[in-house]
């Protein structure tokens, strides 16, 4: 593989490990755990893996080498996130420290490789090419949902064939939910296979006290912030456009909020706030028009607006519509197959309750069509396919024209649209993500060696130097609650949305009015891998603020 000069130098970077993982470890057991909600139901569904204790690794002088070598399999699941390759190299190095004969296998293209027995052995030479690089191309990823006993049994065949004693699933909340279900299944049948999860997603919504952030969030936000900064310079130079910038993140607005803290745009919409204030689409449009009209009075017909990709699902009336659409598509999707697009929309309209049918009819047709597209394998609306940024700017343009006629607005409005998502998911990890992912992987190898199953790799204390990070594991069941998916109640990991009482949101909210009616853009510039630690190793503003640090 031909490498760029930066790739060549960066491949030599040795990620730092927490002190506790630098030598032999012993396990310290904590208190028994409970799920975050719906304890009775979750306990019933996970009789073998519910209530297990939190574990922490500590250094020990006892020898650690494992006499009997063992094999491990890994699956990269869902959307790419920077640092995935370092999770793999961390697991590999951890396994090799335990016993040089241990082997690592990668299932190809996500869970489907596990079910269909497509795999490769990951050797030292192969992994070397991928150290500290972005992407999941080392083995590929996929979104097949691992959920049926038939799939688990098919997978078990290949695990037996390869003499694999543990499977590591590197994924987001849905994939880690699957990891918990699989762990429970294998425990129940006495398969003798452990399952360990690793918290991945740029969305930043897989977090709690023990999982302080999911990997990839830091790098992805820094990539988006760099480009938003560049757009803001352009915007402030030409002074003629409003840039509507949609940012990935699925439901939660963590990415948009982090980028707003980094770049200080004129407006950043926060979906969770829209829901809490029960705002309508009309309220949002009115707020944007207010800002645009006020800026026009100051002679500024330009600005930047950050839009979280999941916004539409948080507008209460839209949320009701989407929820009914989810049920309709899950239950009656077959009746819609083969219909022309306009026939499909008409048929769906008839299947909806009157209030939702009215709202559905009132939407621009391209947005109604995007809302009716097939759900992903977990039953989620594919929000990245809905052009919320253009929906908003179209509605704003229409309202401003009306305001102009009424003499309420005298400016010029011209919009540009952007969507940043895929651009950041495979970036080379920041030092933070490179170290964090390597530690998560290395730690997963130690969880396996400790004989644990149904656990998620947990590395915390992340705003301190990496040597001071705390390594261990938490039972996945403790993060679960019951939610409706595909029309049925299912146990799933609870998503962490933006906390409206949390410091990151409050910090932004305190600056909002000033940022809207001034031009105070911040330009973060590109990710730095070499140079002063305060620039190269700085974690996200979200993490710093959540840990009561100064920013
Ligand atoms: P994960 O939850 O699997 O980490 O994926 C995150 C994400 O990047 C979302 O932000 C986005 O909505 C979605 O994936 C896009 O999915 P796809 O890659 O299938 O287009």
- Secondary structure of 246-273 in HEC code, one letter for each residue: EECCCCCCHHHHHHHHHHCCCEECCHHH
Region of residue 177 (phi > 0: left; psi between -120 and 50: alpha; otherwise: beta): alpha
Residue 60 clears pLDDT 80, i.e. is over it: yes
Give me the sign of the Cα torsion angle 184, 186, 190, 194: negative
Of all atoms in ligand 1, which is nearest to the CA of residue 216? 4
Instruction: Assess contact for 32 and 53: CB atoms under 8 A.
Output: yes
Going by pLDDT thresholds of 50, 70 and 90, the confidence category of residue 331 is: confident
Instruction: Give me 364's structure tokens.
Output: 């621009």
Q: Residue whose CA is closest, atom 16 of ligand 1?
A: 79
Across 519-548, average pLDDT: 96
pLDDT tens figures, 233-287:
999 999 999 999 999 998 999 999 999 999 999 999 999 999 999 999 899 999 9
Q: Rounded to two decimals, what is the model's pTM? A: 0.93
Q: Which residue has the tokens 């250094």?
A: 59
Residue 377 clears pLDDT 70, i.e. is over it: no
pLDDT tens figures, 400-452:
999 999 999 999 999 999 999 999 999 999 999 999 999 999 999 999 999 99
Residue 384 clears pLDDT 80, i.e. is over it: no
- Centre of ligand 1 to C-alpha 46, Å, is 27
Which segments within 254-368 are labelled E, that is strand? Answer: 267-268, 303-308
Across 327-333, average pLDDT: 85
Cα separation, 447 vs 198, in Å, equals 11
- Centre of ligand 1 to C-alpha 211, Å, is 19
Instruction: Assess contact for 491 and 187: CB atoms under 8 A.
Output: no
Asked if residue 203 has its Cβ within 6 Å of ligand 1, the reply is: yes
What's the number of CA atoms in the CB half-sphere (13 Å) around residue 544? 16
- Centre of ligand 1 to C-alpha 112, Å, is 17
Which tops the pLDDT comparison, 319 or 83? Answer: 83
pLDDT tens figures, 449-465:
999 999 999 999 999 99
Across 133-155, average pLDDT: 96
Of all atoms in ligand 1, which is nearest to the CA of residue 385? 20
Across 128-149, average pLDDT: 95
The pLDDT score that the predictor gives to residue 369 is: 87
Asked if residue 399 has its Cβ within 6 Å of ligand 1, the reply is: no
Give φ, ψ of 223 to 5 degrees.
-65, -50
For residue 336, the tally of other CB atoms under 10 A from its CB is 17
Q: Which of 120-129, 250-259, 387-396, 524-533 is the least confident region?
A: 387-396
Instruction: Assess contact for 521 and 264: CB atoms under 8 A.
Output: yes
- Centre of ligand 1 to C-alpha 249, Å, is 7
> Which contiguous run of DSSP H or E holds residue 471?
strand 470-475
Q: Residue whose CA is closest, atom 7 of ligand 1?
A: 79
Across 89-111, average pLDDT: 97
Q: What percent of the chain has pLDDT over 70?
A: 99
pLDDT tens figures, 497-527:
999 999 999 999 999 999 999 999 999 999 9
Of all atoms in ligand 1, which is nearest to the CA of residue 250? 12
Asked if residue 52 has its Cβ within 6 Å of ligand 1, the reply is: no
- Centre of ligand 1 to C-alpha 369, Å, is 20
What's the number of CA atoms in the CB half-sphere (13 Å) around residue 465? 4
Q: What percent of the chain has pLDDT over 90?
A: 83
The pLDDT score that the predictor gives to residue 270 is: 98
Cα separation, 395 vs 397, in Å, equals 5
Asked if residue 254 has its Cβ within 6 Å of ligand 1, the reply is: no
Asked if residue 250 has its Cβ within 6 Å of ligand 1, the reply is: yes
Asked if residue 79 has its Cβ within 6 Å of ligand 1, the reply is: yes
The pLDDT score that the predictor gives to residue 487 is: 75
Residue 364 clears pLDDT 90, i.e. is over it: no
Going by pLDDT thresholds of 50, 70 and 90, the confidence category of residue 59 is: very high
Catalytically active residues are 203
Element counts in the chain: helices (H) and strands (E): 22, 15
Asked if residue 383 has its Cβ within 6 Å of ligand 1, the reply is: yes
pLDDT tens figures, 475-505:
999 999 999 887 789 999 999 999 999 999 9
Residue 327 clears pLDDT 90, i.e. is over it: no
Asked if residue 110 has its Cβ within 6 Å of ligand 1, the reply is: no
The pLDDT score that the predictor gives to residue 336 is: 86
């Amino acid at each position: 593989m031909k490498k760029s000069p930066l790739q060549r130098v960066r491949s030599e970077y040795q990620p730092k490990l927490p002190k506790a993982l630098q030598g032999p470890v012993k396990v310290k057991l904590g208190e028994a755990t409970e799920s975050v909600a719906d304890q009775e139901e979750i306990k019933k569904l996970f009789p073998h893996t519910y209530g297990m204790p939190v574990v922490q690794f500590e250094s020990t002088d006892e020898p650690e080498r494992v006499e009997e070598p063992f094999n491990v399999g890994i699956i990269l699941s869902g959307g790419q996130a920077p640092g995935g390759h370092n999770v793999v190299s961390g697991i590999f190095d951890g396994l090799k420290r335990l016993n040089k004969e241990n082997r690592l296998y990668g299932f190809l293209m996500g869970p489907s490789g596990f079910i269909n027995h497509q795999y490769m052995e990951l050797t030292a030479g192969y992994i070397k090419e991928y150290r500290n690089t972005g992407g999941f191309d080392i083995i590929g990823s996929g979104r097949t949902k691992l959920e049926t006993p038939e799939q688990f049994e098919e997978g078990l065949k290949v695990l037996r064939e390869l003499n694999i004693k543990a499977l590591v699933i590197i994924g987001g909340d849905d994939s880690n939910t699957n990891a918990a279900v699989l762990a429970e299944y294998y425990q129940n049948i006495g398969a003798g296979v452990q399952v360990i999860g690793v918290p991945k997603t740029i969305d930043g919504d897989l977090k709690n006290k023990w999982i302080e952030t999911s990997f990839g969030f830091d790098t992805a936000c820094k990539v988006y912030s760099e480009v938003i900064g560049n757009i803001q310079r352009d915007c402030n130079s030409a002074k003629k456009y409003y840039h509507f910038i949609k940012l990935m993140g699925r439901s939660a607005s963590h990415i948009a909020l982090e980028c707003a803290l980094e770049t200080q745009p004129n407006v950043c919409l926060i979906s969770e706030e829209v829901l809490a204030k029960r705002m309508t689409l009309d309220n949002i449009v009115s707020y944007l028009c207010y800002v645009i009209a006020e800026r026009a009075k100051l002679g500024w017909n330009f600005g930047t607006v950050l839009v979280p990709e999941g916004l539409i699902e948080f507008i209460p009336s839209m949320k009701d519509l989407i929820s009914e659409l989810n049920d309709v598509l899950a239950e009656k999707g077959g009746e819609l197959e083969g219909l022309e697009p306009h026939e499909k929309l008409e048929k769906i309209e008839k299947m909806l309750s009157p209030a939702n049918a009215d709202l559905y009819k009132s939407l621009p047709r391209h947005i109604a069509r995007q809302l009716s597209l097939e759900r992903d394998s977990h039953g989620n609306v594919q929000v990245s396919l809905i052009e919320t940024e253009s929906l908003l700017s179209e509605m704003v343009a229409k309202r401003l024209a009306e305001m102009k006629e009424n003499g309420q607005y005298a400016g010029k409005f011209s919009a540009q649209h952007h969507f940043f998502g895929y651009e950041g998911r495979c970036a080379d990890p920041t030092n933070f993500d490179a170290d964090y992912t390597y530690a998560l992987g290395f730690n997963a190898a130690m969880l396996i060696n400790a004989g644990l199953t149904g656990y998620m790799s947990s590395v915390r204390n992340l705003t301190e130097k990496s040597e001071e990070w705390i390594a261990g594991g938490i039972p996945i069941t403790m993060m679960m609650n019951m939610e409706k998916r595909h029309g049925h109640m299912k146990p799933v990991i609870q998503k962490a949305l933006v906390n409206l009482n949390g410091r990151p949101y409050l910090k932004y909210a305190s600056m909002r009015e000033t940022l809207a009616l001034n031009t105070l853009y911040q330009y973060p510039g590109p990710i730095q891998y070499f140079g002063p630690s305060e620039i190269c190793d700085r974690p996200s503003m979200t993490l710093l603020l959540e840990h009561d640090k100064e920013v």
